[in-house]
Amino acid sequence: MSDKSLKQTAQDLRNQLNTWAREYYSLDKPTVPDDVYDKKYQELVNIEHAHPELITPDSPTQRVGGQVLKGFEKINHEIPMLSLGDVFSKEELGNFVDNLDKNLDEKIDYNCELKIDGLAISLVYRKGIFVQGSTRGNGRIGEDITQNLRTIKSVPLKLSEPVDVEVRGECYMPKKSFVELNERQEKEGKQIFANARNAAAGSLRQLDSRITSDRKLSTFIYYLMEPEKFGVTTQSQALEKMRSWGFKIDPDFKVAHDKEEIFEYIDKYQEKRASLTYDIDGIVIKANPFSVHREVGNTVKVPRWAIAYKFPPDEQETIVRDIEWTVGRTGVVTPTAIMDPVQLAGTTVSRASLHNPDYIKEKDIRIGDTVKLHKAGDIIPEISMVVLSKRPNDSVPYPIPKNCPECGAKLVHLDDEVALRCINPKCPALVKESLTHFASRNAMDIRGLGTRIIAQLYDKKLVKDIADIYKLTIDELLQLDKIKEKSANNLLTAIDNSRENSLERLLFGLGIRHVGAKAAKLIAQHFKTMDRIKEASVEEICSIKTMGTIIAESIVTYFDSKEVDELLEELKKARVNMSYTGESEAEILENAANSPFNGLRVVLTGTLDHLKRADAKKWLEAHGAKVTGSVSSKTNLLIAGHDAGSKLTKAENLKIKIINEETFIQQMEEED
């Protein structure tokens, strides 16, 4: 075949594959079986492999991740990506519509769209070819995530027309993908994600685009920049125009002619919400004519022509049958309510964290109580109150345990914490959790050494501490349930590879209290070797920017131990690296500047169960945030613990973004 005909064959294959992909992923109307697509795809792969000069940016073969980035470049949004104002009742929504109608000369239609629970993105095309994708960021400055967005099948690499256009929309994780991801995370002994939105956020900001590709994200596009260029005069027309180009839009939008039709749409999808294949947290109502958008304009933060109606939280009654106590890596013993299963916001719920003993006492939760259960932020199951009228006559207050449920050691309170702790270093639960943490992704990253394997190794007395991991043999691994020779060899290879990790991974893996992955990296970068860290004083550690006395004292106390000395000697004998081989201090500080918290004004309020207020503040400041004591119109984010009071109320009135402690911790872990 001549070079000319081969080039044409490759282009024909690309065009056909892109058409089939658009039909499958954007229109949900596949026209060929998977095996036909796969055969043509492989044909294109073979041509491009033999002739890499024929590869083009719009080739479907370029969706496969592989490029590992050092960080994300900043993108300036010439036209800001605004957020939406929220309303929480039909009355408020009706007032919005009435006020808008009152200020216009003629009656208008409204476009109703589902409010997808995901991350805002921008996509730029030149002559119909995808050239750049970015996050919303703070609305004016986002991050360039082009390589990651290229891996998402619903993002067209080439449009049906050679237009220059920017569109905006939402990237989300379908419910099925979310379930599969968490099952995989749990199987591998990794942290599971609290909700699909957090999972999507973490997936989009992966420096390795192969991970993003593996997460099976999707998109809905809903905003067309400069619609007048394309002869489009309404939002509903814009959606159809973008669909014709190959973008995936939410097909369930509807043009409503009055408030009653808007309310009917809300009722319909509030009922259908649980059956959708993706998460929604409300309805977006937009003035349909773009002439109205131009006429009424925007405030600094939100458009005056659109509003988001947030669904009220789903609440159900159920009965507490038991309270289960589990021991975490740091010894914190956490209570969990075991309840009769109920359907809540689309999922079956039978467990809810009770956080700590004080929480149980404050709400006076007892075995046999009927309680009201909701999902905090539509995410985390939480008991809001006890239905006292249904309390059994023989009910008695719940007795808080005094001994560890795993080892029987006496439980203690440390540093005036609300949490109970087991401080027995030989507690089986504590040891197994410590081993799991040591092998985790952000620590030594020993692939395959998850919770299930570690439990077996410990129970069979094959490991008693982290140094024993490096003494394992293939014969010992083959004693484990469902471990064959291939997986045993893979695990030994992963263990061997972990010996070469940079010092900060080992330091974080040791599980020193208050020392997270970010702090471990700063400390390792500063002192360079484990021996120098061991010898460091509180003052020397505090000399590191963003490092406080709590972390410094914790490190000094940890290394002032004969047992730790012995453990480190064992690790040295196992040839585990004890030196820093990572980034420079300047690069680390630059990464902190790239944090989504950078530049935000944050307020902490209420009681935090798992974090000290000072530690949360220190972490936020290390990631570029300014932590203030009062809520104002300049506040960007409120982090609310339980029993939050007037600050929470004021933030709600000012429509400031609010997250709870669990969501904040999830975001901290994704950052670190």
Residue 108 class from Cβ within 10 Å (0-12 exposed, 13-18 middle, 19+ buried)? Answer: middle
Find residue 119's DSSP bridge partners. 171
Q: Does pLDDT of 65 surpass 50?
A: no
| Number of residues assigned to the chain | 672
**What is the arithmetic mean of pLDDT over 236-248?**
96
| Residue range 74-310 in CATH 2.60.40.10 | no
User: Does the model's pTM come out above 0.75?
Assistant: no
- Sheet containing 306-310: give its strands across: 86-87, 306-310, 280-287, 110-116, 254-256
Q: Do 334 and 328 contact (CB within 8 A), yes or no?
A: yes
- The letter for the amino acid at 655 is K
Sort strands 280-287 and 306-310 into parallel, antiparallel or unpaired: antiparallel
Backbone angles phi, psi at 235, to 5 degrees: -65, -40
CA atoms of 496 and 503, how far apart (whole Å): 15
Q: Is 169 helix (H, G, I), strand (E, B) or coil?
A: strand
- Name the DSSP class of 298: B
Q: Does pLDDT of 94 surpass 50?
A: yes
Q: Does pLDDT of 314 surpass 50?
A: yes
Helices (H), 499-529: 503-509, 517-527
Q: Do 313 and 375 contact (CB within 8 A), yes or no?
A: yes
Domain boundaries, the chain: 3-63, 74-310, 315-400, 595-671
Q: Do 139 and 76 contact (CB within 8 A), yes or no?
A: no
CA atoms of 590 and 54, how far apart (whole Å): 37
pLDDT at 394 (0 to 100): 94
Q: Do 525 and 583 contact (CB within 8 A), yes or no?
A: yes
Q: Does pLDDT of 379 surpass 90?
A: no
pLDDT at 194 (0 to 100): 62
Give the confidence band of 313 by pLDDT, cuts at 50, 70, 90: low
Q: Is 509 helix (H, G, I), strand (E, B) or coil?
A: helix
**What is the arithmetic mean of pLDDT over 629-658?**
86
Find residue 342's DSSP bridge partners. 349
Q: Does pLDDT of 66 surpass 50?
A: no
Q: Which residues, at least 6 apart from 79, have a Cβ–Cβ distance to it below 8 Å?
A: 225
**The two structure tokens encoding residue 300:** 């600094």
| Alpha-carbon distances, residue 124 vs 149, 169, 317 (angstroms) | 11, 12, 48
Q: Is 349 helix (H, G, I), strand (E, B) or coil?
A: strand
Q: Does pLDDT of 189 surpass 90?
A: no
User: 595-671 in CATH: which number?
Assistant: 3.40.50.10190
**558-567: long-range contacts, CB 8 A cutoff, minimum separation 24:** 558/510, 558/512, 558/513, 559/533, 559/534, 563/425, 567/465, 567/466, 567/467
Q: pLDDT for 565-579, tens place per residue?
A: 999 999 999 999 999
- The letter for the amino acid at 567 is L
Q: Which residues, at least 6 apart from 546, have a Cβ–Cβ distance to it below 8 Å?
A: 522, 592, 618, 621, 622
Q: Do 641 and 606 contact (CB within 8 A), yes or no?
A: yes
- Into which CATH architecture does domain 3-63 fall? Orthogonal Bundle (1.10)
**The two structure tokens encoding residue 657:** 């973004």
- The letter for the amino acid at 497 is N
Q: What number of other Cβ atoms are within 10 A of residue 42's Cβ?
A: 11
**The two structure tokens encoding residue 126:** 């030149």
The percentage of the chain sitting over the pLDDT mark of 70, rounded to a whole number, equals 92
Q: pLDDT for 522-534, tens place per residue?
A: 999 999 999 999 9
CA atoms of 124 and 369, how far apart (whole Å): 55
**What is the arithmetic mean of pLDDT over 615-632?**
83
Q: pLDDT for 282-307, tens place per residue?
A: 999 999 999 999 999 988 778 999 99
- The letter for the amino acid at 329 is R
Q: Which residues, at least 6 apart from 96, have a Cβ–Cβ distance to it below 8 Å?
A: 87, 285, 307
| Beta strand ranges found along 214-369 (DSSP E) | 218-224, 254-256, 280-287, 306-310, 315-327, 332-344, 347-353
Find residue 254's DSSP bridge partners. 112
pLDDT at 490 (0 to 100): 94
CA atoms of 216 and 62, how far apart (whole Å): 16
Backbone angles phi, psi at 100, to 5 degrees: -65, -45
**The two structure tokens encoding residue 644:** 């939050």
Backbone angles phi, psi at 283, to 5 degrees: -125, 140
CA atoms of 595 and 620, how far apart (whole Å): 10
Q: Do 538 and 552 contact (CB within 8 A), yes or no?
A: yes
Q: Does pLDDT of 590 surpass 90?
A: no
**391-395: long-range contacts, CB 8 A cutoff, minimum separation 24:** 391/366, 392/368, 395/366, 395/367, 395/368, 395/369
| Residue range 315-400 in CATH 3.40.50.10320 | no
Per the annotation, the verdict on 74 as an active-site residue is: no
Alpha carbons within 13 angstroms on the beta-carbon side of residue 668 total: 24
CA atoms of 553 and 538, how far apart (whole Å): 6
Q: Give the DSSP per-residue string, 21-54.
A: HIIIIISS---S-HHHHHHHHHHHHHHHHH-GGG
pLDDT at 585 (0 to 100): 57
Alpha carbons within 13 angstroms on the beta-carbon side of residue 406 total: 22
**Gyration radius (Cα) of the chain, Å:** 27
The mean predicted confidence, pLDDT, of the chain is 87
Q: Do 642 and 609 contact (CB within 8 A), yes or no?
A: yes
- Sheet containing 119-126: give its strands across: 129-135, 119-126, 165-172, 218-224
**The two structure tokens encoding residue 439:** 């092998």
**What is the arithmetic mean of pLDDT over 456-476?**
94
Q: What number of other Cβ atoms are within 10 A of residue 493's Cβ?
A: 13
Q: Give the DSSP per-residue string, 540-588.
A: HHHTSTT--HHHHHHHHHHHS-HHHHHHHHHHHHTT---B--S--HHHH
pLDDT at 200 (0 to 100): 87
Find residue 637's DSSP bridge partners. 602, 657
- The letter for the amino acid at 59 is S
- Name the DSSP class of 485: H
| Alpha-carbon distances, residue 365 vs 246, 339, 342, 362, 417 (angstroms) | 54, 12, 18, 8, 20
CA atoms of 352 and 332, how far apart (whole Å): 17
Task: List the catalytic residue out of 74, 107, 115, 650.
Answer: 115
Question: Which range has the top average pLDDT, 24-33, 276-285, 466-475?
Answer: 466-475
